[in-house]
């Protein structure tokens, strides 16, 4: 009964400047396939979405994750077009931790899409899961992914530790974390 789904009535979708975030829809399949033509995106996500069947499977994972309360992916739209993905991953048991993931379509990179989307998702998540005790969100990236490291810095995720290589990741990574600013910390300080 204390289960860990955000109440849709009290937690609208994340809100970001100049971007619209909403859950993925089946109609996003063509734009998804287009985004996944980018080699960097495929390499970093370790995922292939080449055709309609793979896109349908990818979309099903997002739908199922939302239904089970373990995965909240949002399509990031700019002027009606898909420019990115941002996702909050939660353990099945809920709890005080979560993880954020993201990508930006190649043509839309370098304009702060990912940092704005991550910021919006973070604010949304701490509110949506406050009752569930969420206090910390982690962001992990491969050690040579400097662009992702910049996203972490720009969206308030402080570097916390080096994560040793583990399959399927052949090199050490970085963990960054952002903590919920609790009411006492948030009052009276700049």
Nearest-approach distance from CB 165 to ligand COA, in angstroms? 15
Give the Cα separation of 140 and 143 in Å (integer): 9
CA distances (Å), origin 111, targets 1, 86, 114, 156: 42, 15, 8, 17
Nearest-approach distance from CB 35 to ligand COA, in angstroms? 9
Which residues 154-173 are close enough to bind ligand COA by CB under 6 A?
154
Tell me if 113 contacts ligand COA by CB under 6 A.
Answer: yes
Helix (H, G, I), strand (E, B) or coil at 188: coil
Tell me if 42 contacts ligand COA by CB under 6 A.
Answer: no
- Contact track, ligand COA, 70-109, x by CB under 6 A: --------------------------------xxx----x
Residue least distant from ligand COA (Cβ): 110
Give the Cα separation of 182 and 1 in Å (integer): 25
Q: Residue 86 in contact with residue 56, Cβ under 8 Å?
A: no
């Amino acid at each position: 009964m204390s289960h860990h789904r955000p109440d849709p009535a009290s937690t609208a979708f994340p809100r970001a400047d100049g971007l619209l975030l909403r859950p993925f829809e089946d109609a996003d399949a063509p734009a998804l396939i287009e985004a996944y033509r980018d080699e960097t995106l495929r390499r970093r996500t370790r995922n292939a979405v080449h055709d309609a069947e793979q896109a349908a499977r990818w979309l099903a994972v997002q739908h199922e994750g939302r239904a089970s309360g373990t995965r909240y992916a949002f399509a990031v739209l700019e002027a009606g077009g898909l420019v990115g993905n941002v996702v909050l991953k939660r353990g099945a048991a809920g709890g005080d931790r979560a993880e954020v993931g993201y990508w930006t379509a190649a043509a839309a990179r370098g304009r702060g899409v990912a940092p704005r989307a991550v910021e919006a998702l973070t604010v949304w998540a701490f509110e949506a899961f406050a009752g569930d005790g969420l206090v910390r969100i982690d962001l992990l990236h491969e050690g040579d992914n400097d662009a992702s490291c910049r996203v972490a810095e720009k969206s308030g995720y402080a570097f916390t530790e080096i994560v040793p290589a583990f399959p399927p990741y052949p090199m050490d990574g970085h963990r960054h974390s952002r903590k919920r600013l609790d009411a006492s910390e948030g009052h009276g300080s700049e």
